[in-house]
Structure 1
Amino acid sequence: MTTAAVALRYRFHAARVAATRRVGASLVRVTFHGADLADFAGGGRDQSVSLFLPHPGQPAPVVPVEAGEDWYAAWRALDPQVRAVMRSYTIRAQRPERAEVDIDFVRHGDTGPATRWAGRARPGDPVLLLGPAVADERSVRFQPPTGTDAVLLVADETALPAVGGILDWLPAGTPARAFVEVPAAGDIQPLATGARAEVTWLVRGATAPGGALLADTLRAARLPGASPYAWIAGESAMVRAARRHLVGERGLDRARVTFAGYWRRGASEEDLRAEAETA
């Protein structure tokens, strides 16, 4: 498969599915392998990538070749029924010595092309990952400022892989608290870390995602440290409510709160991308 350079610091990395396994009631972990991934210069933590998937019946994902800095416009110009499906994901783990990366997918039936693909993925299935070719932290959002003495993580299941990556990365002994909302008790999983971390799991059950469960739990919670750094990610309404509480009610400095709406209930990634382009 031909790969194309993208700008100066990012490129397409060709890969194939090496293995899949369940890591919870709602998550499946897909391990990707390919010679290109030996050069994937991920920064750990919440390293994001764009994943390109083929449509059913296609032998490989279709992307622009040698599109350079204009790759996105060139991709948009392709027939939507032909161009690869593009979705944003967090790298859960990276093993450059084995040319492998892991991505965890939230499975919620056949409601979208990526979740359908993840449910049917088999060894050998081809994909492309758009990610860093050189050390670059612009696609890593978790950036504790100087003076941070503790870490607070607030996430739903879509940001659980990032929570795991952050806990993997934290220096040994770092005080940390994590609040993670998941659909079912079967989604609770061990999260290895050298940090001095306390993880609180919130099972929402039949309650719709994006509600007040996380924000309400934070209101009654003890925050770690005297100068904590907070990282919030997941459904957009939840992220806004948690950030509003931490900044408006707890008085955290805005510069010490990183937030990312990974998704919005009722909207596809195409919808959100179109809104951003219009804005």
Structure 2
Amino acid sequence: MPEPTYDFFDVHVLRTRRLSATLLRVVLGGPGLSRVVSGGRDQRLKLFLPQDGQERPILPDVLDIDWYPRWRALDPEVRGVMRTYTVRDVRSEPVEVDIDFALHGDTGPASRWANRAVPGDRVTLLAPVVPDNGGVDFQPPDGTDWVLLCADETALPAVAGILEWLPAGTVVKAWVSVGDPGDRIALPTKCQADVTWVTRPAALPEAVAAADLPPGTPYAWLAGEAALVRDVRRHLVGSRGFPRPAVAFAGYWRRGSSEDALLSVT
């Protein structure tokens, strides 16, 4: 049997820090976190949060490779709330994991939890324990001449991770859609990065469509609200002629639907 690439970790909040008008960083610690690794870029993990009124998330008694059907079989009103997030950073001294939350008031359980998080609050991670873990979508192939990034604020932690990871001198054109000018955070990078911030109601797909793009072989990474990602992908593949394999895309959320609703039809 192959070695597992992910494992469960019972962790707690160490501290929180507001990064911008919308982004909040939650720093987590706990036993065994020294085993957590990250492939960088848009590395993802699963976060299990307690329901309102619970001290910790309720999960199946047995957490192994078959955890998912056991979790689904639990009462949805009781089981831990599962959400997918980007690993913003993993540190070994001290052992800490950072997760950045895009807040939107109390309209969803993850945002509500993050808004209220205080040191000691308990959550569970399903996190990678090997670098090559299948949880990284940003994979530019050899021969890529330049990179296009397109995201909204929910994917901003992944954009930041990608820009930190890319080699010095990489040509990058990036667009980030935000609802508040106060979400324009610093994005350190060694790249030749041209980042355009698009504040809604200005539309990100139209901004990309109007842009002059570099010559050469592109690689595009798109993430955020599903309709936004769809529209930009159609433009790149259709009007711009990007090869379909050169466009990685992920709908991080869908307007009018929660992750719970999407899971209920899978």
Range into which the TM-score falls when normalised by the shorter chain? over 0.9
Q: Which whole-Å deviations, capped at 9, do the CAs of 1:133-156 have from their partners, x for residues lacking one?
A: 222241100000111111110000
TM-score relative to the length of structure 1:
0.91
Matched ranges for 1:152-191 at <5 A:
152-191=148-187
Residue aligned with 1:20, SS: strand
State the match for 1:250 in structure 2: 240
Distance in 2 between residues matched to 1:157 and 1:75, nearest whole Å: 29
What is the deviation of 1:59? 2.2
Question: What amino acid sits opposite 2:61 in the alignment?
Answer: V
Structure 1 residue 194: deviation in Å?
1.1
* One of 258, 263, 266 as aligned partner of 1:268: 258
- Structure 2 residue 237 is matched with structure 1 residue 241: no
Say which is worse superposed, 235-244 or 128-137, in terms of deviation: 128-137
Tell me the distance in 2 between the aligned counterparts of 1:232 and 1:263: 13
The alignment of Structure 1 onto Structure 2 pairs a total of residues equal to: 265
Deviation at residue 34 of structure 1 after TM alignment: 1.9
Distance in 2 (CA, whole Å) between partners of 1:13 and 1:191 is: 29
What SS does the aligned partner of 1:191 have? coil
* Residues 163, 189 of structure 2: 8 Å contact kept: yes
Displacement of 1:225 = 4.3
Q: State the partner residue of 1:223.
A: 213
Question: Cα–Cα, structure 1 residues 175 and 137, in superposed 2: closer, same or farther, change >3 Å?
Answer: farther
Q: Which amino acid aligns with 1:97?
A: E
Counterpart CA distance in 2 for 1:136 and 1:167 is 19
Shift of 1:126: 0.9
Does the Cα contact within 8 Å between 1:38 and 1:97 map onto a contact in 2?
no
Check the 8 A contact 2:150/2:176 in 1, yes or no: yes
> In 2, Cα distance between the equivalents of 1:224 and 1:138?
30
Identify which of 130, 139, 146 aligns with 1:150: 146
Deviation at 1:242, TM superposition (A): 0.2
| Contact 2:15/2:27 (<8 A) preserved | yes
Identity level (%): 56
Gaps of 5+ in 2: none
Instruction: Trace 1:6-85 onto structure 2 (pairs within 5 A).
Output: 8-85=4-81
Distance (Å, rounded) in 1 between the aligned partners of 2:133 and 2:243: 22
Local SS of the residue matching 1:68: coil
What are structure 1's unaligned runs of at least 5 residues?
A: 1-6
Q: Deviations over 1:195-249 (max 9, x none)?
A: 1111110110xx3xxxx81111111112234111100000010000000000000
The 2-side partners of 1:93 and 1:244 are apart by: 32
| Cα distance in structure 2, aligned partners of 1:225 and 1:21 | 40
Q: Distance in 1 between matches of 2:85 and 2:63?
A: 22
Q: Does 1:131 align with 2:121?
A: no
Counterpart Cα distance in 2 of 1:240 and 1:59:
39
- Aligned-pair CA distance for 1:192: 0.6
Distance 1:156 1:134 in 2: 28
SS of residue matched to 1:134: coil
CA distance in 1, matches of 2:164, 2:215: 20
